[in-house]
Amino acid sequence: LTDLTLTAEDGSSFSVHSLILAAVSAFILDKLKEKNMGHSYNTQGKVTTWSVHMDNEVDKIGLQAVIEFAYSGDVSILNRHTLTQIKTAAKVLEVPRLLDLCNNINATKEDQCPKTEQGKISTEVHLKNTLRSIERLLEDKVGCDVILELDGISFLHRIILAASSDYFRGMFTCGMRESHQACIALPFVPACELEALIGWSYSGTLHLSWDCVFEITCTALQLQFQPASLLCLKFMREEMEINSCLDVESFAEAYGLSELLEEANDFILRNFREVSATAKFQDLPAQKLLDLLRCDGLCVPSELTVFRAVISWIQADPEERLAHAAVLMSGVRFPLMTFREFREVRAINLRMECFADKEVELYGSALKEFGFSLPKSDEYCRIRRPKDVLCVVGGDQLDPDVGKRIPSQDIWFANSLRNGTGLVKEIEWRRLGEIPDKPKFRHGVAVMNGRLFVAGGCYFYAKNNIMTSAYYNPVTNTWKRLADMQEPRSNFSLVVHEERLYAIGGDKEIDANTDSVEMYKPDSNSWLVHPLDQALSGYGVSALNGGIFISGGFNCKYVCLVSMVLYHPERGSVYLADMSFDRAQHCMEALRGRLYVAGGVCNLRKFYTNQLACEVYDPVTDSWADFSSLPVPHVGSASAVLEEKLYVLGGYCQDDYSESGLVHRFDPGLQRWETMGKLPGAVTDIKACLLHLPQQFRH
Ligand SMILES: *[C@@H]1O[C@H](CO)[C@@H](O)[C@H](O)[C@H]1NC(C)=O
Ligand SMILES: *[C@@H]1O[C@H](CO)[C@@H](O)[C@H](O)[C@H]1NC(C)=O
């Protein structure tokens, strides 16, 4: 599709797209306008070639630089030897942005690479500017060489269409009939969606919402607007919600998009209760509903939820659907119900009978299942295997046999979550491996780019056992030792912020904490220091909306704090609204845009009456509110968020130092704490995180 031949003074010539050159060069733009004079577009129906011969001054190097700049936004051959030639070409061809680049190199020291210079406009910005110029050419109808019959008539540029869509590239370059036509009609393509995609081709911006994303994606796939369709799929994945997940699923199914289908399916299973209340759910085909019911991974507070979902689906069209009732009921796991729940089944069933005005045999078959096929453990459970696993790392524990505490080197992960009859829940733990060298407790753990980082902590109960070492496990189950931190730390946290790790404060020896913060960059393998306002250990920390929030903790005198701080590695600390309780050794996690704080102790010398108190911070209003108290104390526990639920793991009770080893989780939807069983090993001063494990660990 090149249409312009540019020839330098020495006779060397280049084939280019006049539109791309006209977007950066006022000289070429004028020539193009001259050539088009009198026509608002090129009516020839094919690419008409033309040429421009440069006058003496512009040589091969200069011309080459202008062309490279037009296409890439950068000039690789720009250095002090080529500077004069390039500058001349930029002047003659009137390319102001290239001239700026040249003047930039002029201003810097001779051999210094201009790329490292501050204030230089990035390649990306240059390309954006070029695209914007092309958009302006479109508005002025300069250089248009094809007409598309949409709702009206659109004058467009072949190369822009060809660059954004494989369909158009094929059309214009493979000798199809359309490659010789000035005017193209696509009667089977909806105009509105095509207009959006063409708008994207010229602007790089696609406005998506749930009202239009499916139609736009269809058209993008049909006309092979590849990058645009990736944007659409990304939108569906990242913005998926209760009201759209069923649509996404059927869309993914229809188009054979297996990854998206899996994600949508997982989302539906995970949020079944909410999804079953939507209008779209009532339209599901019977078979689809049955597939969902039969899934082990269906996530519901109780089987009563499943039963109710089926009833509401039937009630949406009882005439038609009562016929499916018996087979659908076989998907409800009645034996997992308590007697109380089952009584409700009977009540609902009685109401159904009146409603349907005929004999419904549901209750009979349900009763049979409830009474006679008692659960044979595993087989009948709902077993949910979350995509990411909850991992617990290190910690320590009292060994009752020897009456001593034992630090742990183990790493465990939660492979599946099981719901038994009524409220019985259980986590299936598996051992993943161990921390290298020594056991660790009171350490820091974080996951960045799928890798598990473990730093600092203690390995025994004596002086001078606080560590500076750090490792990561690249999931292949091998460890790599990183540069040591500059200070030893325990009772601290590692947090990920903008692709970097931060080790914040902590105890550097017995009863002496620090204000230092160290930052770790994977590419440079080193730790750097930016301090806090004051020494701090035993705090809660979480990254949310690109900020690092730190709550409570012990100050240098080991007094518990009520503070909430927004810490920035360069700008330092900003104090936000105080918590209602002073606390340390608590946990804090970000969930649905808020920060949940649970447990811990208040001032060590006071009574510990509020070890159970929980509160939640809303960054929009900068305020705290209480939420349901913990069922048991979890001082010094680990925490993590899995599938939008807050998990609090282990810790101890400050009154008698007893350790229950229990795992509790808070579901913000139900506003309730649930007991999830026990930890597999160490129970206090452990750390938890989420990890994505390869399939062979899960099977
Ligand atoms: C187990 O029950 C809880 C509520 O008690 C629920 O939120 C969770 O999704 C259930 N899990 C599974 C796998 O069904
Ligand atoms: C870390 O915190 C615990 C309280 O859980 C405390 O007993 C211990 O002394 C602290 N570590 C150091 C080095 O101060």
In tens, the pLDDT along 265-279 reads 999 999 999 999 999
pLDDT digits (tens, 9 = 90+) for 280-304: 999 999 999 999 999 988 988 888 9
How much distance in Å is there from the Cα of 535 to the middle of ligand 2? 14
Contact criterion met (CB below 8 Å) for 74 and 126:
yes
What local confidence, expressed as pLDDT, does residue 118 receive? Answer: 44
- Residues 657-677: what's their mean pLDDT? 91
CA distance 670 to 661: 24
Distance, in Å, from the CA atom of 475 to the CA atom of 478, rounded to the nearest integer, reads 7
The owner of tokens 């590692």 is 494
Q: Are 502 and 519 in contact (CB under 8 A)?
A: yes
Query: 4-138: what CATH class?
Result: alpha beta
Helix, strand, coil % (nearest 5) of the chain? 35, 25, 40
Query: How far is residue 558's CA from residue 602's CA, in Å, rounded to a whole number?
Result: 11
Question: Does the pLDDT value for residue 675 go beyond 70?
Answer: yes
* Model confidence at 115: pLDDT above 50: no
Ligand 1 atom nearest to 423, measured from its CA: 5
* Matching fold, domains 4-138 and 146-239: yes
3-state secondary structure of 683: coil
Nearest to 508 by CA among 588, 442, 436, 437: 442
Mean pLDDT of the chain: 88
Residue 114 confidence class, pLDDT cut points 50, 70, 90: very low
Query: Tens digits of per-residue pLDDT, 561-590?
Result: 999 999 998 888 999 999 998 999 999 999
pLDDT digits (tens, 9 = 90+) for 300-330: 888 899 999 999 999 899 888 988 888 898 8
Question: Which atom of ligand 1 is found nearest the CA of 302?
Answer: 2
d(CA 544, CA 425): 30
| Contact (Cβ atoms closer than 8 angstroms) between residue 289 and residue 316 | no
CA of 686 to the centre of ligand 1 (A): 25
What pLDDT was estimated at residue 367?
64
- Pocket test residue of 440, 463, 490, 513 for ligand 2, highest count of atoms within 8 A of CB: 490
Report the pLDDT averaged over residues 394-399.
90
Q: Which ligand is nearest to the CA of 538?
A: 2
Say if ligand 2 is within 6 A of residue 64 CB. no
Which of 440, 442, 514 best tests ligand 2's pocket when mutated (most atoms within 8 Å of CB)?
442
- Best residue among 270, 302, 332, 419 to mutate for probing ligand 1, ranked by most atoms within 8 Å of CB: 419
Ligand 1 atom nearest residue 417's Cα: 13
Cα dihedral: 176, 178, 182, 187 (round 10): 180
Q: Please choose from 465, 487, 491 the residue to mutate so as to test ligand 2's pocket, defined by most ligand atoms within 8 A of CB.
A: 491
Instruction: Give one DSSP letter per residue of 159-195, joined into a string.
Output: HHHHHH-HHHHHHHHTT-GGGG-SEEE-TTS-HHHHH
User: Ligand 1 in contact with 299 (CB < 6 A)?
Assistant: yes
Residue nearest to atom 9 of ligand 1 (CA): 299
Lowest mean pLDDT among 234-243, 366-375, 389-398, 624-633: 366-375
Rounded to the nearest whole angstrom, what is the distance from the C-alpha of residue 448 to the centroid of ligand 1?
29
Q: What residues does each domain of the chain span?
A: 4-138, 146-239, 279-380, 385-697
Phi and psi at residue 283, to the nearest 5°? -95, 0
- CATH class (in words) of the domain with range 279-380: mainly alpha
Give yes or no for residue 263 CB within 6 A of ligand 2: no
Rounded to whole angstroms, how far apart are CA atoms 19 and 145? 10
Whether the pLDDT of residue 518 is over 60: the answer is: yes
Which pTM was predicted? Answer: 0.76
pLDDT, mean of residues 171-178: 80
pLDDT value, residue 19: 94
What local confidence, expressed as pLDDT, does residue 419 receive? 74
Is 385-697 a domain of CATH 3.90.230.10? no
pLDDT score at 4: 94
Ligand nearest to C-alpha 654: 2
For domain 146-239, give the CATH superfamily: Potassium Channel Kv1.1; Chain A (3.30.710.10)
Backbone angles phi, psi at 88, to 5 degrees: -60, -50
Length of the chain: 699
User: Whose alpha carbon is nearest atom 6 of ligand 1?
Assistant: 301
Sign of the C-alpha dihedral computed for residues 479, 481, 486 and 487 taken in this order: positive
